[in-house]
Amino acid sequence: MKKSIITQKIIAKAFKDLMQSNAYHQISVSDIMQTAKIRRQTFYNYFQNQEELLSWIFENDFAELINDNLDYYGWQNELLLLLRYLDENQIFYQKIFVIDKNFQQFFLIQWENLLDKVIFDQEKKSDYHWSDLEKSFICRYNAAAICAITKESIIRGNSLEKLYSQIVNLLLAQIKIFES
């Protein structure tokens, strides 16, 4: 049976909606499916449990935001879209950072993917050829810093979109230093 991405997204949205006003451990599969207006058994056609649903949400949302769009948008637009998405889903991610310790590693990897795109885009525009060591360093260094600052902003309830110009300016300045 082919799994419907639409049904998965409806279930995920219902779960996110419930997370706005409930603690993770207070939400049952029945609650999710009642909110989604889909029969309970359908949940198990797509997910084994809520942890699998949570993993699917991370992978699907970030894949759509970062990986699927990297070739269509410039990295600056991609960064802005990601920050807006995190702002819109801030309460959900506040709770996720508390309950899912693995999410921080996943979050860091997503920032590394985006920063790899930054270097790739920049390399196409300049005569400078980045070594693998340089690429790895700037991606890992900045991903760790951006991950930490965005996590802190999410937990504190601060707007991430306000970080946009600071992140862009910092990245462009660092790239310019490497290319000099």
For 116-156, write each residue's pLDDT tens digit. 888 888 888 888 888 999 999 999 999 999 999 999 999 99
Given a contact cutoff of 8 angstroms between Cβ atoms, the answer to whether 153 and 159 are in contact is yes
For 38-56, write each residue's pLDDT tens digit. 999 999 999 999 999 999 9
Kindly state the tokens that stand for 151. 């996590």
Residue 26 CA to residue 17 CA, distance in Å, equals 13
Specify the higher pLDDT residue, 71 or 86.
86
Q: Cα Rg for the chain, rounded, in angstroms?
A: 18
Q: Please tell me the predicted confidence (pLDDT) of residue 1.
A: 46
Could you tell me what percent of the chain has a pLDDT over 90? Answer: 65
Residue type, 45: N
Given a contact cutoff of 8 angstroms between Cβ atoms, the answer to whether 112 and 175 are in contact is no
25, 58, 102, 106 from 109: Cα distances, Å: 26, 12, 11, 5
Residue appearing with tokens 């310019």: 176
For 81-125, write each residue's pLDDT tens digit. 999 999 999 999 999 998 888 898 999 998 998 898 888 888 888
Instruction: Calculate ∠ Cα 139-113-63, nearest 5°.
Output: 165
